[in-house]
Amino acid sequence: MTQTSDRDILATFETLALQAGRAVMDVYEVDFPVELKADASPVTEADAKAEAIILAGLREAYPDIPCVAEEEASAGICPPELDGLFFLVDPLDGTREFIKRNPDFTVNIALIRQGIPVIGVVYAPARSVLYSASPEGAFRIDTVNHEPGERRNIIVRTPTRVPTVVASRSHRTEETDSYIQTCGVVELVSIGSSLKFCLLAEGEADIYPRFGRTMEWDTAAGDAILRAAGGTTRRVDGEPLTYGKRGQAEDCDFANPWFIADTKPA
């Protein structure tokens, strides 16, 4: 793929994320039922509507690139094979925050190329901000009524004397707390969804440890933005976090190991 086609894919991602975000907010602003999936995680009408918008748009624009999406995967619908190039979609990351009417939920779309997230968007519709990244860089775009405004380049910051650590609001674990204690004196920020990656990418935080379960669609878009901004996401053994993991003996397809995202260069 050329840089021009990368730009086209990113533009498609941004358009679809904004459309999906509008649909999510339509549900957010009314009373809505909450159901439980087979793994006991919650799901709402917003998840389904946003995923339908995104998948329809991706499959129309790029019919030859397979899609792996959270709700389809939960229903057992998944491409039989992946050749190293595919889309990862989380239509509503932070469903628990959404249910609580907390604004820390996002729409996530990413392109994976040979195990690496290279293009991604994270849209936080309740916060009116869209994060966007490709090999050309990472950007923050403030939105008005789900329309894009000014595009501002973002990069990670130089580590500070007292690092800011971001941790999950709804999925905090004892292992995560133990790791944070090894960091010494820190400023701790709790926030939901893939916004944790974005805080690192725009220079508002330094470390995001995740010693708990995540799936690839939870992390791919935010990870793409962090990497494009100059940061890294690594497993606890120091190796880069990769995508397209299938046939794992220790876990299901597309499950992530524990990882640490930070602002250190690769």
Report in angstroms the alpha-carbon separations of 263 from 86, 121, 124. Answer: 26, 19, 22
Counting the structural domains of the chain, the total is: 2
Minimal CA–CA distance to 191: which of 266, 112, 256, 127? 127
3-class state of residue 21 by DSSP: helix
Q: pLDDT band at residue 38, thresholds of 50, 70 and 90?
A: confident
**Mean pLDDT of the 195-220 span:** 96
Does some domain include residue 168?
Answer: yes
Output the average pLDDT for the chain: 93
pLDDT at 1: 46
Looking at the fold, whether 178 and 99 belong to one and the same domain comes out as no
Q: pLDDT band at residue 140, thresholds of 50, 70 and 90?
A: very high
Looking at the fold, whether 173 and 238 belong to one and the same domain comes out as yes
Looking at the fold, whether 86 and 176 belong to one and the same domain comes out as no
Looking at the fold, whether 89 and 122 belong to one and the same domain comes out as yes
Residue 114 has pLDDT above 60, yes or no: yes
| 92 carries a ligand binding annotation | yes
Q: pLDDT band at residue 167, thresholds of 50, 70 and 90?
A: confident
Does some domain include residue 68?
Answer: yes
Residue 185 has pLDDT above 90, yes or no: no
Looking at the fold, whether 128 and 78 belong to one and the same domain comes out as yes
**Mean pLDDT of the 115-139 span:** 98
Cβ atoms of residues 227 and 136 within 8 Å:
no
Q: pLDDT band at residue 89, thresholds of 50, 70 and 90?
A: very high
pLDDT at 152: 97
> Which amino acid would we find at residue 132?
S
Residue with tokens 């087979």: 38
End residue of a domain, out of 107, 123, 154: 154
Looking at the fold, whether 146 and 20 belong to one and the same domain comes out as yes
Q: What is the CATH number of the domain that holds 39?
A: 3.30.540.10
**Mean pLDDT of the 19-43 span:** 91
Strand order in the sheet with 116-124: 67-69, 85-93, 106-113, 116-124, 129-134, 137-144, 147-154
**Mean pLDDT of the 153-173 span:** 87
Residue 259 has pLDDT above 80, yes or no: yes
Looking at the fold, whether 206 and 138 belong to one and the same domain comes out as no
Concatenate the DSSP letters of all residues of 26-77 into one string.
HHHTS---EEE-TTS-EEEHHHHHHHHHHHHHHHHH-TTS-EEEHHHHHTT-
Residue 252 has pLDDT above 70, yes or no: yes
| 95 carries a ligand binding annotation | yes
Residue 4 has pLDDT above 60, yes or no: no
Report in angstroms the alpha-carbon separations of 183 from 159, 161, 163, 180. Answer: 13, 11, 8, 5
Looking at the fold, whether 143 and 173 belong to one and the same domain comes out as no
Q: What is the CATH number of the domain that holds 179?
A: 3.40.190.80
Residue 3 has pLDDT above 50, yes or no: no
| 51 carries a ligand binding annotation | no
Determine how β-strand 207-210 pairs with β-strand 259-262: antiparallel
Q: pLDDT band at residue 2, thresholds of 50, 70 and 90?
A: very low
End residue of a domain, out of 125, 154, 183: 154
Write the pLDDT tens digit of every residue in 210-236. Answer: 999 999 999 999 999 999 999 999 999
Q: pLDDT band at residue 170, thresholds of 50, 70 and 90?
A: low
| 93 carries a ligand binding annotation | yes
Looking at the fold, whether 11 and 79 belong to one and the same domain comes out as yes
Looking at the fold, whether 149 and 175 belong to one and the same domain comes out as no
| 70 carries a ligand binding annotation | yes
Does some domain include residue 159?
Answer: no
Looking at the fold, whether 36 and 150 belong to one and the same domain comes out as yes
Q: pLDDT band at residue 41, thresholds of 50, 70 and 90?
A: confident
Percent of the chain whose predicted confidence (pLDDT) is above 90 = 80
End residue of a domain, out of 126, 154, 182: 154
Residue 28's domain spans which residues? 3-154
Token pair for residue 125?
């519709």
Looking at the fold, whether 135 and 21 belong to one and the same domain comes out as yes
Residue 25 has pLDDT above 60, yes or no: yes
**Mean pLDDT of the 48-54 span:** 97
